[in-house]
Copies of this chain bind each other. A is one copy, B any other.
Amino acid sequence: MSDHETNLLPPDWAFEFHGHFCPFMPLGYRMGLLALQRMGVDREQDHTLHVVCELGEGHPQTCLIDGIQVATGATFGKTLIEKTFWGKLAATFWYPGKTAVRYSLKPSFLDAFGTQEFFAYRKKGIEPSGIPADVTRKAIDWMLSQADDDVFARTDRPDFQMHPPKGSFNKSLCSVCGEYVFERYVRMQDGKPVCIPCSGYAR
C-alpha cells in the first residue's frame, strides 16, 4: 500500500472494537476522515459534532457506521450519531458554525466493489469473522486504492441544521419501580412521577 492508503486505514483497535475484519468499517472510517477535513474540525472529544446516517436495519454494509464512529468520535454513547432508516449508504455531518456536508457512496463504486470475492462469501450467509483474512484484505486494499472522487459523492448542505436537546442532570425516582428517571422522561400518573415503562404510556 502507498503511504496515502496506509493513512486511510483505521487503527488496529478499530477492528477490535468492531469485532471482525471487514471492508465497510474501513470505508466508513474513510468517509468520516473526509468529513472532518471538509468541515475543518478535529475528532470529537465531547458532545458537539453530530452525524445523521441514512442507513437502516435488515440490510448489509451498516458496518460503515462503526467506521464513522471511530473516525469522527461521534459515538452512539455520546448521542452524536443516529440513523434515518432510509436504507442508503450516506451520512450528513454537522458541526455548529460549519457547513454541513453529506457523503454518499457512488453506485458505480458500489457496483465495482460488489465484484470483490468478499461479497460472494457474505451473500452465501458467511459472517465476516468466517471469511478468510486474505479475501477481506483484498477487498480493503482495492477500496483504499480508489480515488476519493470515484468512491464518494459530496454535497455541501448549508441549510442543514440540527438542534440537539438541552441536557439536564435532574432526575426523579419512579414511584412504582423505584428506579431513577431523567426528568424529560418522567411521566405523571395518579399525581405521582413514574417512568415510561411503569406508566404504560407509549412514550
What sequence of 0s and 1s flags, for each residue 112-132 of chain A, a beta carbon within 8 Å of any chain B beta carbon?
A: 000000010011000111000
Residue of B nearest to A104 (CB): B179
Give the residues from 129 to 174 in chain A that come closer than 8 angstroms, CB to CB, to chain B.
129, 164-169, 171, 173
A23 contacts the other chain (CB 8 A): no
Identical copies of this chain, number: 2
**Quick check: B86 and A196 within 8 Å, CB to CB?**
yes
Given A89-B180, A181-B88, does the pair A60, B107 have CB atoms closer than 8 Å?
no
Measured between C-beta atoms, what is the minimum distance from A198 to chain B in Å?
10
CB contacts (< 8 Å) of A98 on chain B: these are: none
**Quick check: B81 and A76 within 8 Å, CB to CB?**
yes
Given A66-B78, A86-B195, A90-B179, does the pair A129, B46 have CB atoms closer than 8 Å?
yes
Query: B-contacting residues of A (Cβ < 8 Å)?
Result: 11, 13-14, 16-20, 25, 28, 43-47, 54, 56-60, 62-70, 73, 75-79, 81, 84-90, 104-105, 107, 110, 119, 122-123, 127-129, 164-169, 171, 173, 178-186, 195-197, 203
